[in-house]
Amino acid sequence: MKAKEAGMSLIVKRITKITVSLIFLFGVYIVLHGHLTPGGGFAGGVIIALSFIHLVLAFGKEIALKKFSESAASLTESLGGLMFLGVGLLGLLGGYFFLNILPHGKTFDLFSSGIIVLCNIAIFLKVGAGLFSIFIAMAILKIPLEDNQENK
């Protein structure tokens, strides 16, 4: 029986090597400029997850799992959630929950408004790692194509 090669054809693999890094960079740009241009944490996180899924679809899941294994994804997601909660609780020092206590710069700088950049980064870690875990769980599951057991 012919050995099945994982992933898609050669043209797709060549193009994927170029475009995956571009998609990743674009996603990071959208997350970091979340308070200046439209975008924010959610859309950027989904774009980052899409870049990893692109890698899995083109190369097969073994090679992609070497770059970002499942336990690392789970760790990243928990870290993002805890960071969001921690940043929120830090506002308790100022007065009430989620107060914006880090210094505000001028309006159109990159690091201007205090808490928003950190919140965006926390959300992006959480959404990206979570959606990647969902896709890996669906890719690993194999449905048996023939019925071996007796029917009821």
Partner 1 sequence: MIELHLILFLMIIGAVVAMEIEDLLSSIIALGAVGMGLTLEFLLLRAPDLAITQLVVEILSLIILIKATVSVDIQAKKTRTNPYYFIFALLFVAVFLWFSYKAVVQLPAFGQPLMKMGGQYIAEAAKKTSAANIVAAIILDFRGYDTLGEATILFTSVIGVLAVLRKTGRKK
Partner 2 sequence: MCFILFAIGLYCLLVKKNLIKKIIGLGITEYAINLFFILLGYRSGGEAPILDKQTANLNFVDPLPQALILTSIVIGLGVTALMVAIAVRIYEKYRTFDINQIRKLKG
Stretch binding partner 2 (CB under 8 A), from 56-64, 75-83, 85-93, 133-141: 133-141
Q: Per-residue b/e over 119-152, b at no fewer than 16 CB within 10 Å? A: bbbbbbbbbbbbbbbebbeeeeeeeeeeeeeeee
Q: Which residue is associated with the tokens 């975008």?
A: 39
In the region spanning residues 85 to 114, those forming contacts with partner 2, defined by CB under 8 A, are 107-108
In whole angstroms, give the CA distance from residue 120 to residue 126: 10
Residues near partner 1 (CB under 8 A) are 30, 34-40, 42-43, 46-47, 49-50, 53, 77, 81, 84-85, 88, 97-98, 100, 104-108, 112-113, 115-116, 119-120, 123, 126-127, 130-131, 133-135, 137-143, 145, 149
- Token pair for residue 85? 């909660």
Quote the tokens at residue 119.
Answer: 């919140």
Binding status of residue 37 toward partner 2 by CB under 8 A:
yes
Contact flag: residue 127 with partner 2 (CB under 8 A): yes
Name residue 56's amino acid: V
Interface contacts to partner 2, rule CB under 8 A: 37-38, 40, 42, 46, 107-108, 127, 134, 137-138, 141, 143-144, 147, 152
